[in-house]
Amino acid sequence: MVKCYGATTAVDGISFSVETGTLATLLGPSGCGKTTTLRLIAGLEVATAGRILIGGREVTQLPPSERNVSMVFQSYALFPHMTVIENVAYGPTVSGVPKRRAREMAAEKILLLGLSGLERRFPSELSGGQQQRVAVARALVLEPLVLLFDEPLSNLDAKLRRRVRDDIRDLQSRLNLTVVYVTHDQQEALAISDQVIVMAQAAIAQSGRPRDLYENPANVFVADFIGDANIVDAELAACSDDRVQVRLAGLDITLPPRNMSPGPVKLAVRPEAIRLYRDKPAGPALPARLVKTVYLGSHMEYTVDCALGALFVIDRSTSESYAISSELWIRFCHFGVTILSD
Q: pLDDT averaged over consecutive 10-residue blocks of the chain (342 residues)?
A: 92 95 95 95 94 94 92 87 95 92 94 91 90 90 92 81 86 92 93 96 96 90 90 86 84 81 89 93 91 91 95 87 91 88 68
Burial class (CB in 10 A: 0-12, 13-18, 19+), 268: buried
Q: How far apart (Å, rounded) are the C-alpha atoms in residues 255 and 92?
A: 56
CATH class assigned to 2-215? alpha beta
Is CATH 3.90.1750.10 what the domain over 228-340 is classified as, yes or no? no
- pLDDT for the residue 255: 85
R_g over Cα of the chain: 24
Predicted pLDDT at 244: 84
What does the domain layout of the chain look like in residue ranges? 2-215, 228-340
Residue 282's pLDDT is what?
Answer: 85
Contacts of 137 (CB under 8 A, 6+ apart): 88, 106, 109, 110, 112, 113, 115
Nearest to 325 by CA among 301, 285, 292, 276: 292
Residue 198 and residue 188: Cα distance in Å, rounded? Answer: 13
